[in-house]
Structure 1
Amino acid sequence: MIEFKEVSYGGWSTCYQVSNGIIDLIITGEVGPRIIRLGFNDGPNQFCNVDEDLGKTGGDEWLMYGGHRFWHAPEDEVRTYYPDNVPVTVEENNGIVTITQPTETTTGLQKQIILTMNPDSAQVKVTHKLTNHSPFAITCAPWALSVMRPGGKAILPLPPRGSHPEDLLPVNSLIMWSYDDMSDPRWTWGKRFILLSQDVNNAQPQKLGASIPDGWVAHLNDGVLFVKQFDIFPEATYPDMGSHGEVFTNDYMLELETVGVLGPIEPESSAEHTETWNLFQGVGAVSNDADVEANVLPKVESIK
């Protein structure tokens, strides 16, 4: 049974908790759309919270806050960073929770996050809906970013490997940013997986985008595995040189990101991007491909 109730959290008096008795999440009502907490009941928050931002409202400056947020890609220092500092509408109907942001005054775009929690497992379906209320088409893509708490490790799967000279054509892309350093020890480059560790003592940002035909990315922290699944449309155009998923880290968090299809959204039309979240407990640590194959892949393959 899904329980939905109003709660206070992090200095905000109006938040909303959704729980099935196994996991719970908390939605901010005074800013957003943001999902500020996700975790097992009475367990630690798997999302990062930025303490100096918690409880704040209003103002023209975009704030990190933490948690899970919804942007539109490609990244732009003005359009993307529209402040989500005003109240949102949070409605529950038959276990489905819809979070609606007021239309952005500078873009004409309106964000909605629609949550459907599985009543019997640690699973949540999260749909990101971007509606264009402007008088002209806007080309962008829904972009879903989960800000994970420090100390964890992101896992990006690579497509099945082949051999030379039998396999002559490329099978995937890796996208890098100008500030990336591939020699940074937080990266682990495997044959089947790429790992990125978060380090509270290393403030240098690192980011990587990738085409991910398997349609999942994951994050492991202290035995708790967070898996995001998402649909891939091979013939579609994606932002950031074809990224399906991206990871970013600095000294206080790690972001696990997925990106929807890039294209024009016509006036009064919408684009959607859906993730399915799953949490697992008691998962062994990973430091290489063999660890991922032993500890993570069986969990991913068990998802229904």
Structure 2
Amino acid sequence: MGIEVKEVEYGVQGRCIRMSNHFIDVVVSIDYGPRIVRIGFLDGPNLLYWDEERRNVFANKELKAYYGPQTAYHAYGGHRVCLVPDRMPQSYYPDNDPVIYGLLNGGVRFTPPRQKGNDVQLSFEVMMGTDASDVMIVHKMKNCSHESKRVSLCGSTMMAPGGVVIIPQNMSNEEKHQPNRNFSLWPYSSFRDERLSLGDKYIMAQQAPSNRNLKFGVNDLQGWAGYSNRGCTLVKRFVHAPGQPYPDFGSSLETYICDDYAELRTLSPLFTVEAGEGIRHVENIALFRSPDLQMGLPESTVNDYVNHLGI
């Protein structure tokens, strides 16, 4: 068996494209989005969050004034491509229309309609090897307007509840007289959040209900972050470009935690995209079978856990 690609009906997610190899499968919606609605081992659970009850729907006055009175943004869940910095209403485009897909050598390209009002075309490609438990996702943006846009591309992955986020601290000792770590905190978040742990080697965060949401960003020089849950660890890898400007006070990796899910976002540098031009942002998503990581462990134990994964 090589790579299998076929169109399927996937429950409440509707028409989807399912990609699979010897180890994993990936399911991508084409009735809306696109969203990667499932990623997991063939015999394992879905590691992504899905909003079965449509709890995360936004339809405020700004959205309706900008996109039309009948529009609403559905977070849906799963993995998507978006633009950063976040702005209301531009960042909450109601991508509820069917998606065009095209077969590639070793993958599939997913292209939604051009965003009306925002004058951008977003898309992503999912590339899969025959004998690997990882996929490469190529996020793309084209500026369809007549003016330049200053933006960053973001790969946003909403993870199933109950897991633990792990992010490496920057440990370079090349220049001891200059800071090497940024930590951006959103206004509704607290450094005293009990779900957050700031260690010398790792930042960890527990997805669990709370009376407030948590969002933070870091300059992730090592270019990876993980989420441990359901007997697996999902690791997102990307390239942090030293010396390049990043949004949100220099963040290349962001985490958002609410009652329903944990979100891991990898960001490209900020680009000035001229009219008719485009940018792309690549990340790798890899799956590892592993015991579930727990909060409160000694950092030496966490370090052994990471080394066992081979990150």
Q: Which runs of 5+ in 1 are unaligned?
A: none
Distance across 1 between alignment mates of 2:257 and 2:244: 28
Matching of residue 187 in structure 1 with residue 188 in structure 2: no
CA RMSD of aligned residues (A): 1.9
Deviations 1:4-35 (A, max 9, x none): 01111132441110001211011101101211
2:90 corresponds in structure 1 to 79
CA contact (8 A) 1:128 1:142 kept: yes
Runs of 4+ with deviation above 6 angstroms:
none
Q: Which runs of 5+ in 2 are unaligned?
A: 58-69
Bigger Cα displacement from structure 2, 237-246 vs 288-297: 288-297
**Equivalent AA in structure 1 for residue 186 of structure 2:** W
**Equivalent AA in structure 2 for residue 214 of structure 1:** Q
User: 1:1-304, aligned counterparts within 5 Å?
Assistant: 1-53=2-54, 60-160=71-171, 167-199=176-208, 201-287=209-295, 288=297, 289-301=299-311
Q: 1:243 Cα shift?
A: 0.2
Distance across 2 between alignment mates of 1:160 and 1:145: 25
Distance across 1 between alignment mates of 2:164 and 2:242: 27
| Paired residue secondary structure (1:296) | helix
Distance across 2 between alignment mates of 1:121 and 1:168: 42
Distance across 2 between alignment mates of 1:197 and 1:291: 17
Q: TM-score, normalised by structure 2?
A: 0.91
Bigger Cα displacement from structure 2, 278-287 vs 220-229: 278-287
Deviations 1:235-293 (A, max 9, x none): 21111010010101011100011111112111121111100110001235243422321
| Paired residue secondary structure (1:92) | strand
Distance across 2 between alignment mates of 1:14 and 1:284: 32
Q: Using a 3 Å threshold, how does the CA distance of structure 1 residues 3 and 90 change in structure 2: closer, same or farther?
A: same
Q: 1:168 Cα shift?
A: 2.5
Q: TM-score, normalised by structure 1?
A: 0.93
Q: 1:105 Cα shift?
A: 0.7
CA contact (8 A) 1:283 1:296 kept: no
Distance across 1 between alignment mates of 2:211 and 2:42: 31
**Equivalent AA in structure 2 for residue 296 of structure 1:** V
